[in-house]
């Protein structure tokens, strides 16, 4: 694009900065009423057991349907929700919505299949909110979801921002019976010495490390190291962003416990979610379905 020579000779970059600020302010304004107007919703993405390709649970992901802008990406609105503190209220809403949905799905589970779990992202801002443990306990009480079926995803950077402040709450959540997951593992500035103190049962390997896995990429060494480290610490490993059978086969062969990604299914609204997708995965992706 050409440089603009407007009043006072403002350069193009000044304009876009202005525009960026305005867009941000507009989004912030709109986000303030989004929950009350019913514009927020939850999508569910399957997490599968790699050994069997059987559905093990779901990650709940927040969606915002803006009346004019359409679907706004969480990568755009979650940071705003964090800065403004709106994430505290909307996060609590999502947690309750997702827990209630999982209780319904668990009731429909055919005999012989494992109990499903639900994984919910918790941002730094929520971690620092003194009410978090009470909010989680309240949701478990009201929905009847067993704590063992709830996973909470936190990021290394979220913990690192205020380790002393959040570790007590993380331990309290663990003591409730909730499973903590370290999300996007490998992307933050984590210090291994702190990592040791996070009472997490699960490590989720960020999808950026999945590129080229199974095709000889140097990422394979990283994934192998993470799996070895986590298993030594008694933690399970979930691979995020699994898109191909090559990745799936390599991960399975190298002891990764669970996987999540477009290979198994994209995030979808509850009513569109294919349940018991062990069968549909094998049919859709392993060549069993007529085209
Ligand atoms: P995340 O928690 O790491 O979630 C995984 C993201 O990867 C999701 O993006 C998901 O749609 C995407 N993904 C899943 N499988 C694949 C794949 O095979 N390939 C590719 N390319 N992408 C895949 P989404 O839904 O856009 O969410 C982005 C981020 O926004 C999340 O990353 C999380 O950090 C944040 N977020 C979403 N919902 C919530 C929420 O309710 N609360 C909080 N605090 N953060 C949320
Ligand atoms: Mg996550
Ligand atoms: Mg993640
Ligand atoms: Mg991620």
Q: Residue 13's pLDDT is what?
A: 57
Least confident of 2-6, 50-54, 207-211: 2-6
Q: With 50 as the cut, is the pLDDT of residue 286 above it?
A: no
pLDDT given at position 195: 76
Q: Of all protein residues, whose CA lies closest to atom 17 belonging to ligand 1?
A: 241
CA distance linking residue 117 with residue 102, whole number of Å: 7
Residue 284 pLDDT: 45
Residue nearest to ligand 1 atom 21, measured at CA: 241
- The per-residue pLDDT for range 136-147, each reduced to its tens digit, is 999 999 999 999
Residues 230-247 have a mean pLDDT of: 95
Residue nearest to atom 26 of ligand 1 (CA): 74
**Which ligand is closest in space to the CA of residue 210?**
1
Write down the pLDDT at residue 289.
33
In percent, the amount of the chain with pLDDT more than 90 equals 69
Residue of the CA atom closest to atom 8 of ligand 1: 61
* Per-residue pLDDT, 52: 87
pLDDT class of 283 with cuts at 50, 70, 90: very low
267 in ligand 1 pocket by Cβ < 6 Å? yes
pTM, entire model: 0.91
The complex's ipTM works out to 0.97
- Confidence check: pLDDT of 131 > 50: yes
Q: What is the pLDDT of residue 157?
A: 85
Provide mean pLDDT across the span 196-214: 94
Q: Which atom of ligand 1 is nearest to the CA of 82?
A: 44
In the reported structure, the alpha carbon of residue 149 is separated from the centroid of ligand 2 by a whole-number distance in angstroms of 16
Could you report the per-residue pLDDT of 147-190, keeping only the tens digit for each? 999 999 999 888 888 888 899 999 999 999 999 999 999 887 76
Q: Is 123 in the pocket of ligand 1 (CB under 6 A)?
A: yes
Mean pLDDT of the chain: 88
Distance 209 CA to ligand 4 centre (A): 11
């Amino acid at each position: 694009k050409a440089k603009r020579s407007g009043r006072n000779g403002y350069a193009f970059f000044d304009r876009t900065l202005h525009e960026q600020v305005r867009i941000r302010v507009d989004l912030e304004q709109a986000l303030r009423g989004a929950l009350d107007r019913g514009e927020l919703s939850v999508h569910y993405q399957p997490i599968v057991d790699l050994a069997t390709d059987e559905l093990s649970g779901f990650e709940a992901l927040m969606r915002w349907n803006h009346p004019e802008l359409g679907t706004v990406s969480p990568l755009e609105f979650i940071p705003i929700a964090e800065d403004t503190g709106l994430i505290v209220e909307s996060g609590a809403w999502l947690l309750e919505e997702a827990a209630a949905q999982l209780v319904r799905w668990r009731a429909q589970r055919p005999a012989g299949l494992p109990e499903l779990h639900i994984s919910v992202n918790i941002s730094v801002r929520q971690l620092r909110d003194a009410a978090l443990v009470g909010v989680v306990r309240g949701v478990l009480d009201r929905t009847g979801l067993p704590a063992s079926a709830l996973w909470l995803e936190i990021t290394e950077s979220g913990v690192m921002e205020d380790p002393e402040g959040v570790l007590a709450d993380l331990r309290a959540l663990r003591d409730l019976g909730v499973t903590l997951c370290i999300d996007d593992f490998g992307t933050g500035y984590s210090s291994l010495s702190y990592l040791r103190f996070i009472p997490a049962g699960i490590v989720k390997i960020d999808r950026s490390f999945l590129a080229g896995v199974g095709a000889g990429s140097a990422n394979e060494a990283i994934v192998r190291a993470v799996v070895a480290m986590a298993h030594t610490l008694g933690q399970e490993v979930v691979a995020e962003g699994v898109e191909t059978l090559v990745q799936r086969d390599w991960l399975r062969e190298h002891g990764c416990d669970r996987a999540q990604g477009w290979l198994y299914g994209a995030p979808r609204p509850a009513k569109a979610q294919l349940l018991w997708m062990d069968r549909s995965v094998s049919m859709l992706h392993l060549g069993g379905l007529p085209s």
